Amino acid sequence: MEQQQLEDKEKNIDIEKKQVDISNQAYIDDLKKLIKTNTNVPTHTPKKFVDMFYVRDNSGTTEFYVFINNTWKKLI
């Protein structure tokens, strides 16, 4: 009797069903894309995590910017 009750609970819960965390999936999908190379200095406020990284081609010099503490910081 007890074994049957456990089996019934497993069927109701559907333990074998794979759970997908969609809250992080959008971030992961964005990070799989290449970062676009730009020609201007960044001045916008990023709306997504991936937009916090900015690559600028300054006539042969490549610069990398990161948005930290509400300002753009040039790392390279």
Q: How confident is the prediction along the chain (76 residues), in pLDDT tens digits per residue?
A: 566 555 555 555 555 556 666 667 777 777 777 777 888 899 999 988 888 899 999 888 899 999 999 999 999 7
Of 26, 27, 36, 30, residue with least CA distance to 62: 36
pTM over 0.75: no
pLDDT at 36: 78
Residue 58: the pLDDT is: 83
Do 65 and 72 touch, CB atoms closer than 8 A?
yes
